[in-house]
């Protein structure tokens, strides 16, 4: 669907490497450790054993209990080096040299020259660093994967006879009726058919306030019902709910690697063999040249080996990317991978569709004028009756407006559509019509009213669809229907412009309507009357002009343009399945303020990655000469090296607590 721009994301299972080794997603400790019952802290058991054994061995050596000291050092080496040895050998079998392998060699080298404490300290801190990194990354990962636990396991299904029974959500079928009591989590995606209540949708959409639900409104599995009972007709199976879809997309996002992660892996593959060659040279050249003794040269080479290992570089990118993905999901933005999160940070222009994106995508009755002596109820009663047989969105808007006012709509007779003009029908035994003034020219229903026609022209200039309502020889009034802009659209456009992003409207609608809507929300650049293939052409032009652009849309006709842009963004609620599939990012609440939030988060992630890379490489560059010339001993090199790795991981996690300054105020 994404074409060559996106490529294919392959899932990397537990065997796909290690965090130190190249930035792959950390594997669960439970799959490998005999201490798996300890859960998230299992990987800290090995370093704990290593640390206790090392300290005990050092005390025994000082007390000259030599044999016991050697046994304790052996335990410390085995416990501290277990993870690194296993992962290093695994990579070696695939003809790859990684950082774990370097650390094991350095520790063995230290032991060969009698520096058991330094070697044990290296393995202890290295394994401790591994454990802390995994804890840090798991924290970021769990912030998103907790979504899987949101939806209830059972649903209360109402049978045809009115009885209720609890069944596993997997057994709930399309069309089933589910009862949701006050305070309960909703068990399935569906449409409300009875009841009214405020529903907390924040777990899925990031909306801070409960959303009022009434018959006809959609609800989502995992959201929390408020004070009223709801009866919901199921529209999605458990495997296709919004929650299930989000969990699947998050799993794919974590399996795919960002551009920076792939670059770090390529660098590590070349860099590690170079470090090994340099270490061998540092062992051999100084003694042969008469500069250093063999033991001193060996120890300095081992210290350099540790200092030159890019552990912090390997962890710097995945820590920031995972934290960024988690923060985005918590803010109502679902990003399908680290590469797309980075791309969001490069966006300099945003192309937006009009209908369903800037506007709600659902026409509503927006203006009304009654003729002299006509009541509003009568006008809407006749108009809704005439329109009641039509499935057109404008007809539904008129019918919904009448029903919302409690008006009883009579059934029409002999309804007929007049192409391009309106609809006719017999209501209360009299012929009636709803449509443009042209509908009534040269027709049996010829009625002219200058005031109504002037009103119709006025509201048409405001991008509304204007219609005159006639009953017999009497003009009842004029009504205007429009697809109203989203409340937050103006704020979102202003925020994007404040971030330095140009906003362009691409729409298939006519130029006058597009210009009116764009003017209302502050968009200056407009391209109207576009077919889907023309939208792609304009997307390509924008990419050429700005370098990186985001395209935001909600419909099937937007899917090609979403795929052609640098970052495709779909409206999550109203968006079609095709648009969601083609997009790289989904706004789960259809809240446009999530656009500037996503762009700023992408920029923050890119900045965080750059800071981590610069810091980690600065430590490496600093440690190489300090260890090679004997300024830093092995123990200090170990502490600096592993300390920088943990600092980089924790620095990346700061994204989890990033403030959302674009959130709409309640």
428 is catalytic: no
Tokens read off for 121: 């300290």
- State the pairing for strand pair 413-418/422-427: antiparallel
Set 353, 449, 483, 558: catalytic member: 353
Q: Is 619 in contact with 641 (CB distance < 8 Å)?
A: yes
Nearest to 155 by CA among 91, 219, 70: 219
Tokens read off for 230: 């709801």
Cβ contacts of 648 within 8 Å, gap of 6 or more: 312, 315, 316, 319, 612, 615, 616
Q: Which residue has the tokens 């790289």?
A: 584
Could you give the dihedral angle defined by the CA atoms of residues 515, 519, 523 and 524, in that order, rounded to the nearest 10 degrees? 70
Q: Quick count: other Cβ atoms within 10 Å of Cβ 148? A: 15
Nearest to 586 by CA among 151, 217, 205: 205
Measure the N-to-C terminal CA separation of the chain; round to a whole number of Å.
38
Angstrom distances, CA of residue 114 to CA of 82, 108, 119, 295, 376:
21, 10, 9, 10, 97
Angstrom distances, CA of residue 305 to CA of 105, 118, 274, 275, 286:
9, 14, 11, 7, 16
The span from the CA of 200 to the CA of 69, in Å, is 61
Q: Quick count: other Cβ atoms within 10 Å of Cβ 529? A: 11
Q: Quick count: other Cβ atoms within 10 Å of Cβ 543? A: 17
Nearest to 507 by CA among 485, 488, 490: 485
The span from the CA of 638 to the CA of 120, in Å, is 10
Q: Which residue has the tokens 């710097």?
A: 316
Widest pairwise Cα distance in the chain: 117
Active site residues: 353
């Amino acid at each position: 669907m994404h074409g060559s721009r996106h490529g294919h994301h392959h899932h990397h299972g537990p065997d796909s490497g290690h965090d130190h080794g190249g930035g792959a997603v950390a594997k669960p400790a439970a799959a490998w450790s005999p201490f798996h019952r300890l859960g998230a802290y299992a990987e800290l058991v090995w370093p704990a054993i290593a640390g206790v054994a090392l300290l005990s061995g050092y005390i025994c050596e000082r007390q000259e209990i030599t044999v016991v000291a050697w046994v304790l050092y052996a335990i410390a080496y085995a416990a501290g080096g277990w993870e690194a040895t296993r992962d290093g050998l695994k990579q070696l079998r695939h003809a790859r040299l990684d950082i774990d392998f370097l650390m094991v060699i350095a520790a063995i080298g230290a032991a060969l020259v009698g520096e058991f404490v330094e070697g044990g300290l290296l393995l202890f801190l290295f394994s401790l660093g591994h454990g802390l990194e995994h804890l840090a990354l798991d924290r970021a990962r769990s912030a998103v994967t907790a979504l899987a636990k949101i939806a209830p396991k059972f649903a209360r299904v109402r049978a045809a006879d009115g009885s209720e029974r609890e069944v596993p959500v997997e057994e709930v079928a399309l069309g089933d009726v589910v009862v949701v009591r006050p305070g309960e989590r909703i068990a399935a995606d569906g449409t409300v058919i009875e009841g009214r209540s405020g529903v907390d949708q924040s777990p899925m959409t990031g909306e801070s306030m409960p959303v009022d639900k009434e018959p006809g409104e959609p609800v989502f599995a995992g959201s929390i019902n408020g004070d009223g009972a709801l009866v919901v007709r199921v529209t999605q199976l458990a495997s296709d709910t919004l929650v299930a879809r989000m969990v699947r997309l998050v799993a794919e996002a974590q399996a795919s690697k960002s551009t920076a992660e792939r670059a770090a892996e390529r660098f590590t593959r070349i860099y590690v063999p170079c470090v090994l060659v340099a270490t061998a040279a540092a062992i051999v050249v100084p003694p042969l040249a008469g500069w250093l003794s063999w033991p001193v040269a060996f120890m300095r080479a081992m210290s350099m080996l540790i200092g030159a290992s890019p552990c912090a570089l390997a962890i710097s990118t995945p820590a920031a990317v995972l934290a960024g993905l988690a923060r985005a999901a918590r803010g109502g933005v679902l990003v399908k991978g680290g590469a797309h999160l980075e791309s969001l940070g490069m966006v300099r222009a945003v192309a937006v569709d009009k209908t369903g994106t800037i506007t709600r995508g659902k026409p509503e009755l927006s203006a009304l004028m009654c003729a002299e002596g006509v009541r509003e109820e009568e006008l809407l009663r006749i108009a809704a009756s005439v329109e009641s047989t039509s499935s057109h969105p404008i007809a539904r808007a008129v019918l919904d407006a009448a029903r919302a006012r409690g008006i009883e709509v009579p059934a029409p007779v002999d309804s007929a559509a007049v192409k391009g003009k309106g609809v006719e029908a017999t209501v209360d035994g009299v012929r009636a019509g709803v449509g443009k003034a042209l509908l009534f020219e040269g027709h049996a229903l010829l009625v002219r009213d200058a005031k109504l026609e002037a009103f119709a022209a006025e509201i048409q200039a405001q991008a509304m669809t204007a219609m005159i309502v006639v009953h017999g020889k009497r003009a009842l009034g004029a009504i205007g229907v429009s697809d109203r802009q989203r409340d937050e659209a103006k704020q979102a456009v202003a925020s994007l412009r404040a971030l330095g992003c140009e906003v362009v409207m691409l729409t298939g609608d006519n130029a006058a309507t597009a210009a009116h809507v764009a003017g209302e929300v502050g968009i200056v650049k407009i391209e109207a009357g576009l077919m889907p293939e023309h939208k792609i052409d304009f997307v390509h032009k924008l990419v050429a002009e700005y370098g990186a652009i985001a395209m935001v849309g909600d419909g099937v006709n937007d899917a090609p343009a979403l795929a052609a842009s640098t970052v495709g963004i779909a409206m999550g609620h109203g968006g079609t399945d095709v648009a969601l599939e083609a997009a790289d990012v989904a706004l789960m609440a259809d809240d446009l303020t999530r656009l500037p939030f996503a762009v700023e988060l992408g920029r923050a992630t890119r900045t965080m990655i750059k800071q981590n890379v610069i810091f980690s490489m600065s430590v490496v560059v600093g440690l190489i000469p300090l260890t090679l010339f004997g300024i830093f001993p092995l123990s200090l090199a170990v502490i600096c090296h592993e300390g920088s790795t943990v600092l980089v991981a924790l620095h990346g996690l700061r994204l989890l607590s990033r403030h959302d300054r674009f959130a709409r105020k309640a």
